[in-house]
Amino acid sequence: MTIDETGMNKKQLVTKLSGSLNLSKADAERTFDTITNTILDALKNNDSVKIGGFGTYKVVKRKARIGRNPRTGEQIQIAASQQVKFLPAKALKEVFNR
């Protein structure tokens, strides 16, 4: 399996999961979907999701602010929003910073 310049996609992750756990691709996809939906449900409830040795997903609130249109230079109002933030665990950081 090759990974293109955009990274791994869901199909490639499911194929890898299927091979690693000796599951059918359908079972691996259901497992993958269950995990991602569980994470999504927790985030929708403003709960953080901590995966030991990997990292933490959490929802952060961004305040409304004044921005600038890069094309015209005109000031614009940017509405308040929520975003998902990922904070890598120390162990994950160490994999890339040895």
Lowest mean pLDDT among 4-18, 25-39, 41-55: 4-18
Lowest mean pLDDT among 4-8, 28-32, 85-89: 4-8
pLDDT band at 2; cut points 50, 70, 90: low
Three-state SS at 93:
helix
State whether 52 and 98 are in the same domain.
yes
pTM of the shown model: 0.79
Residue 1 pLDDT greater than 70, yes or no: no
- In which element (H, E) is residue 33 found? helix 25-44
Q: What is the pLDDT of residue 3?
A: 61
Three-state SS at 70:
coil
Q: Which residues share a beta bridge with 68?
A: 75
State whether 95 and 53 are in the same domain.
yes
Domain with 11, as residue range(s), is 6-47
pLDDT band at 5; cut points 50, 70, 90: confident
State whether 58 and 86 are in the same domain.
yes
- How many whole angstroms separate alpha carbon 60 and alpha carbon 65? 15
- Work out the number of other CB atoms within 10 angstroms of the CB of residue 28: 20
